[in-house]
Structure 1
Amino acid sequence: MTTSIRIDHDVPMQTRDGVTLRADVFRPDDGSRYPALLTRTPYGKHGYFHNDFVSAIAAAREGFAVVIQDTRGRFASDGDYVPGIPEGDDSYDAVEWVASQPWCDGAVGMYGASYGGRVQWEAAIAQPPSLRAIAPGIADASPINWSERQLKGAVMLEDTLSWLAMMVVDIAARTEAGGGDASALRAGTARAGTDLDGLLRHLPLRDALPPALGPAVEQFGTVILDPLPPGARPSDLLWNFERVAVPCLHSGGWYDLFAGSTFIGFGEMRKGGGSSAARQSQHLVCGPWAHNRSLPPYQGGLNFGTAAGSTPTGSTPAWAAHLAFFDRYLRGRDVHLPGVRYFVMGADQWREGDDWPLPGTQFTRFFLASRGNARTAAGDGVLTRDAPGTQPPDRYIYDPHNPVPTTGGRLLFTGKRAPGPLEQGRVEVRDDVLCYTTPELTEDLEVTGPVILHLFASTSAVDTDFMAKLVDVYPNGAAFNIAEGLIRARYREGIRSPKPVVPGEVTPYVIDLAQTSIVFRRGHRIRLEVTSSNFPLIDRNMNTGNPFGVDSEGVPALQAVYHDDRYPSYLELPVIPAGAR
């Protein structure tokens, strides 16, 4: 381990079209050549020298050169920033520029979280010769923004607007530096900071966006706020993994908004990566984390213990995985690197596996049941392994003007609400939330893998939403969210096949709650919540069938959830047998 580190700021690089991008470079100060780690960010390289995935100083002390570059049109880099513009060419040029530097031995790996993961997929698809490995963290599996929910037809409302406001800050600064007037942008971001809830509740929503964020809406609108951007092709729904021919380390979190994407990328690369070597060199690490560069052992209202995340005195689990990964694929070292390393909540410990879902997983059906009154946690809704007989459906009114409030879950930290597990009491007392709960468990039950709800439901509207949330109920009655998912009714057959609902007709829905790993402890109960809103995380479906953001008034909808021998709604849980742990 080296002790002397050299840091060079704003090192310039020219792209193929003559634009200057700038980077900070951290490296051992001994004149030798080292493998390099490159990350590219639109959020300002000045704040990226340390995060819980990779610390530039720690990596340099381990014998890597670390390059942190502002992307085109952001902060220290020249050019124009256009949201959604492909980053492949710039990333290709950056990789080859890094490889050509006198302090690099020619081997380049990439790392980075969120947007920094997107640019890695684009770089790997472009196939720069010097790129040896990538490590996309908490990243989307699709070129389409926010694909976890957006590909279900919904808009991640608070995340989108708070993210826009954050991005506009640098746009305003650059506008002023060029002599332009950014007063409208400044006013808009100020409102987003002081009255975000008022902005989110404004109807029609599209009328609120231009005065709030000015010309940024023209740039961002069609990229972010439409379920499927104009001109999108079927091949755009996922990255072109067949062109990715390098090893990958996929990092995710159970409370990350891309909790499903991490596993999609891992599975697609193992199945159809661009080379046999790449398919055999896929690795995944997933902890009890949210969408953030900081990965502490606590999220929301729970602490998962010191092993779960970063501590003031120790290495982080994510950095340990990155170091082993780059040691193997950039240096050729023989280090222990499992196929899958995952954190089991409840047991609060790390485990390893060779594949995902884990071999031996028992996909177990838990049927929804009631006597017709599953509304609220005090209702008669039951989650049972017994197949249903003749039962009445559960009904509730979804009023878009009185939506269920977002309470924890998979959301960005840029808004006002906290991500992660939070107590669900204020949600479960509502008359528009159905709750189906198991009896107290007589033994521990591990659930590790994909969670799917098969729901039979009807609505009085031509379009509506159905939301599902998996909850851990403690012996004292406290209820903490574990996983969540949704479906927008008109997109039930896919984002490219919108189809109105026939009011009153019983319709099957498949709701993907993505992935999780938890031991439901003896004495706890497992609960499923079913409702039709999660606001302001998800935009309110106004039940009209109109495009996003144009309605001034919504229409209340009568919803019915069926669970009988003809329409057996059930939650499929990936149960790990006790002997397989």
Structure 2
Amino acid sequence: MSETTEHLMPEPTHEVGEYHKVMVPMRDNIRLATHVWLPEGKGPWPVLLMRNPYVNSSDVYDPSFVLFARYGYAVVLQECRGRGSSEGTWEPYVNERSDGLDTLDWLVRQTWQDGSIGLYGGSYLSFNQWILADCLPPEVKTLYLSVMGTDLYRFAYMDGMFKPDIYTSWALSNSGKDWGEADLAEMAHNAYRIWPPIEMDEKLLGKRLPWYRDFIANSGSGDSLWNEGLWGLLKSMPPQINIPVCMVCGWFDIALETMFTAFHQLRPDIRDRSRFTVGPWVHSLVPYGDLDYPGGRVDGPNGGTKAALDWFDAMVKNQPYKEQLGVVHTYVIGDKGWRTWEQWPPENDAMLFYLNEGKSLGKRPSAQPASFSYEYDPKHPVPTAGGSTLLSVYGDSPYLPKAASVLQPEAGSRPDVISFLSEPLAQDLLVAGQMRVGLHVSSTAADTAFTVKLMEVFASGEAYNFADGITSLAYRNGSSMRLSYEPGTIVSISIELWPITWRLKSGSRLRLDVSSSNFPAYHVHPNVAGNWGEQGSPVTAKQCLYGGGDLVSFVRLPVARYLDIGNVAYCGLKGNIPSFANRFISFFVKIVVS
């Protein structure tokens, strides 16, 4: 816990009292190590429960969690099956539902708890909450969910493109292999480059990881893996929740999109009693990258320990809650502060920029057709520079890509990246919501990928990314099933970018980079049709991009209708979109081209 957070915390009401460790039996008689800290004094007490796989037998003490005992909570930390000193075999995800329900059954029978329980923990620890959400006992009053949503396909893939920096790196670090003195960042770096990718586990671990191979073998959102069994159950959870939830995420976190989806899937009456906070953070809920975020700390109502304490005091202890409920509370990058949105996305108007001749982003599509081509060689992919789909952001290493918003390479620095640039903006624009890029493209490959990256180019000439996306042609336009593609055919693709609140400055320019790789944020597409993970011989492809004339390509920004600058409220861009542009937007949203 930082000094800033310590300063914000109220004076403790208790000392930490009795501690005991219990081996709690599950339904199959496997016993899980469960640590209990009680406040000093006479109970019973409200309870906070965390189920954690990231432990070992010599280090289970989490000061930031045990701290809650000093505020009148019984703190219960359980080591997941097969982890730390718990019995059984570690199988990621498989046993968490049954073990979690058995643990709650045990917990409600304890004489030191008062009948009010809150569940806590982020990432995998939030999965351990989500997967119980449809059958919680009445003693559970709330969930505190951070950096984990419920659509695991969207967590692992974007339109057929796998995220190795999330799940390949996680597979290595959670495989049970003793790496000794090996550098795990270097191991992940090597793992990303194995062809065919599906053989990574046997080549580096000497064994198969069935769950990981299942992920690689199922690259479409319509595949049964993601819609049945455990992952189908997880995806069904948000509308089944009947207690308030507090959700916390970062603009540069791997779970951002899936958390927004889950929040909107809550029943309206539950969402009105819940809250979602999004800060300028990565998966560890800390600021990262090359920009400064004044006031962007994890503190107060902004997702830190103090925010969690305030939430549990209100929902578990029935104390007053000072913050607004039913809202999305976000940090506005470039605006140096926070805004609370009663409606998300807020009312906004589409501002369109068109890809025109001269590699310009114009406010009107050019009548003159233009085409842009480049060669994409999977053996020399474009390295990831920033973004929201990176997990290996903990520490500096020559093997780790840099996450969040970072200084970008200059336009034209690679021949396989086409950069488009707008004129300087005439006024500040508050981008608030989800962005979209619509392109007309063709390729000499039977399947390939196209990537996009949006960035703000400041008056100094420095460019910083704020959104990116990718699609394969096989799963273009969000198709749930694999589509065919005839090489050389021009098709339209629509790439949905993750949401953000970002203030573009007057005098800045908008830059769009289009390419075919963003590695290792996404896997290197081999330019071969079929399952990507089974391909061992990538080939080079010629890619073409079209704009102007009848083949309009564009960037759509959701601009908040009113932007407060000082004491002046500037009206948004309502009515600035010509009718033909609206037709093109509708076209790109609805079309599915085979």
**TM-score normalized with structure 2 length:** 0.84
In the TM superposition, 1:367-386 aligns within 5 A as 367-369=354-356, 371=357, 380-386=358-364
Do 1:10 and 1:76's aligned partners in 2 also have CA atoms closer than 8 Å? Answer: no
Q: 1:116 aligns with which of 125, 142, 147?
A: 125
Match of 2:167 in 1: 160
Is 2:323 aligned against 1:345? no
Q: How does 1:456-535 map to 2 (within 5 A)?
A: 456-494=440-478, 496-535=480-519
Shift of 1:31: 2.4
Q: Name the CA shift for 1:65/1:567 in 2 (closer, same or farther; >3 Å).
A: farther
Q: Percent identity?
A: 27
Question: Do the aligned residues in 2 keep the contact of 1:155 with 1:226 (CA within 8 Å)?
Answer: no
Distance 1:160 1:392, change over 3 A: same
Q: What is the CA-CA distance between 1:167 and the residue it aligns to?
A: 0.8
- Aligned amino acid, residue 552 of structure 1: G
Within 1, Cα distance between the matches of 2:530 and 2:119?
Answer: 42
Structure 1, gaps ≥5 residues long: 173-184, 372-379
The residue number in structure 2 matching 1:362 is 349
Secondary structure of the residue that 1:568 maps to in structure 2?
coil
Q: For this pair of structures, how many residues does the alignment match?
A: 540
Instruction: Provide Cα deviations, 1:551-581, integer angstroms capped at 9, x if missing partner.
Output: 3321212222222242322222121122569
For structure 2, the 5+ residue unaligned runs are: 1-11, 571-594
Letter of the structure 1 residue corresponding to residue 329 of structure 2: R
Alignment map for 1:235-274 (pairs within 5 Å):
236=231, 238-271=235-268
Q: CA deviation at 1:234?
A: 3.8
What CA distance in whole angstroms lies between the structure 2 residues aligned with 1:506 and 1:320?
A: 54
Code of the aligned partner of 2:352? R
User: Is 1:83–1:223's contact at 8 Å kept on the other side of the alignment?
Assistant: no
Which residue is equivalent to 2:588? none
CA, structure 1 residues 5+426, in 2 after alignment: closer, same or farther (shift >3 Å)? Answer: farther
Contact 2:134–2:237 under 8 Å retained in 1: yes
The alpha-carbon deviation at position 195 of structure 1 amounts to 4.7
Question: Quick one: structure 1 residues 192 and 211, their matched pair in 2 at CA, closer, same or farther if it must change by over 3 Å?
Answer: farther
Give the whole-Å Cα distance in 1 for the aligned partners of 2:432 and 2:475. Answer: 28
Is 1:329 the counterpart of 2:315? The answer is yes
Instruction: State how far apart, in whole Å, the 2-side matches of 1:427 and 1:5 are.
Output: 57
Could you tell me which residue of structure 1 aligns to residue 403 of structure 2? 419
Contact 2:156 2:166 in 1 (8 A): no
**How far is 1:157 from its partner?**
1.7
Q: Are the counterparts in 1 of residues 133 and 237 from structure 2 also a CA contact under 8 Å?
A: no
Q: Does 1:148 align with 2:155?
A: yes
Q: Deviations over 1:211-232 (max 9, x none)?
A: 3012253453224664259742
Asked if structure 2 preserves the Cα contact closer than 8 Å seen for 1:285 and 1:321, the reply is no
Q: Which runs of 4+ in 1 moved over 6 A?
A: 45-48
1:62 matches 2:57: no
Task: Note if 1:408 corresponds to 2:386.
Answer: yes
How far apart in 2 are the matches of 1:7 and 1:530?
A: 59
Letter in 2 for 1:394: F
Question: Which position in structure 1 is the counterpart of 2:539?
Answer: 555
> Which amino acid in 2 is paired with 1:120?
Q
2:369–2:550 CA contact under 8 A, matched in 1: no
**Contact 2:150/2:237 (8 A) holds in 1:** no
Letter in 1 for 2:563: A
For 2:217 and 2:40, the matched residues in 1 are separated by 47
Q: Letter of the aligned partner of 1:433 in structure 2?
A: V
CA distance in 1, matches of 2:542, 2:185: 36
C-alpha distance in 2 between matches for 1:565 and 1:262: 39
Moved more, 438-447 or 530-539: 438-447
Which residue pairs with 1:14 in the alignment? Answer: 25
Q: What one-letter code is carried by the residue in structure 2 that aligns with 1:285?
A: T
Alignment of 1:203-352 (within 5 A): 203-218=195-210, 220-223=212-215, 226-227=218-219, 231-232=224-225, 234=227, 236=231, 238-271=235-268, 276=269, 278-292=270-284, 295-296=285-286, 298-305=287-294, 307-310=295-298, 317-338=303-324, 339-352=327-340
* Cα separation, 2, equivalents of 1:512 and 1:49: 42
Structural mapping, 1:178-197, within 5 Å: 186=179, 190=182, 192-197=184-189
CA pair 104-500 structure 1, distance change in 2 beyond 3 A: same
Deviations 1:243-302 (A, max 9, x none): 22221111111100112111111111145xxxx4x243221000000011xx33x31112
Cα RMSD after superposing both structures: 2.7
SS at match of 1:302: coil
Give the superposition deviation at 1:395.
Answer: 1.6
Q: How does 1:441-452 map to 2 (within 5 A)?
A: 441-452=425-436
Q: Alpha-carbon deviation of 1:39?
A: 1.7
| Preserved CA contact (<8 Å) 1:86 1:122 | no
Instruction: Specify the alignment match of 1:41 in structure 2.
Output: 52
The answer to whether the 8 A contact 2:238-2:263 is kept is no
- Aligned counterparts of 2:451 and 2:146: Cα–Cα separation in 1: 26
Q: Does 1:85 align with 2:94?
A: yes
CA distance in 1, matches of 2:150, 2:509: 33
Please tell me whether residue 391 in structure 1 is matched to residue 376 in structure 2.
Answer: no
What is the rounded CA distance, in whole Å, between the counterparts of 1:461 and 1:447 in structure 2?
Answer: 35
Question: Any idea what SS the aligned residue of 1:123 has?
Answer: coil
CA contact (8 A) 2:353 2:556 kept: yes
Distance 2:33 2:208 in 1: 24
Is the 1:446–1:519 contact (alpha carbons within 8 Å) kept by the matching residues of 2? yes
Q: 1:280 to 1:547 in 2, by over 3 A?
A: same
Counterparts of 2:551 and 2:75, CA distance in 1: 56
Over residues 180-213 of structure 1, what are the superposed CA-to-partner deviations in whole Å (9 max), with x where a residue is unaligned?
xxxxx648x9375545433322333334431301
Question: Secondary structure at the residue paired with 2:446?
Answer: coil
Deviation at 1:539, TM superposition (A): 1.0
> Within 2, Cα distance between the matches of 1:59 and 1:224?
40
Q: Matched residue of 1:136: which SS?
A: strand
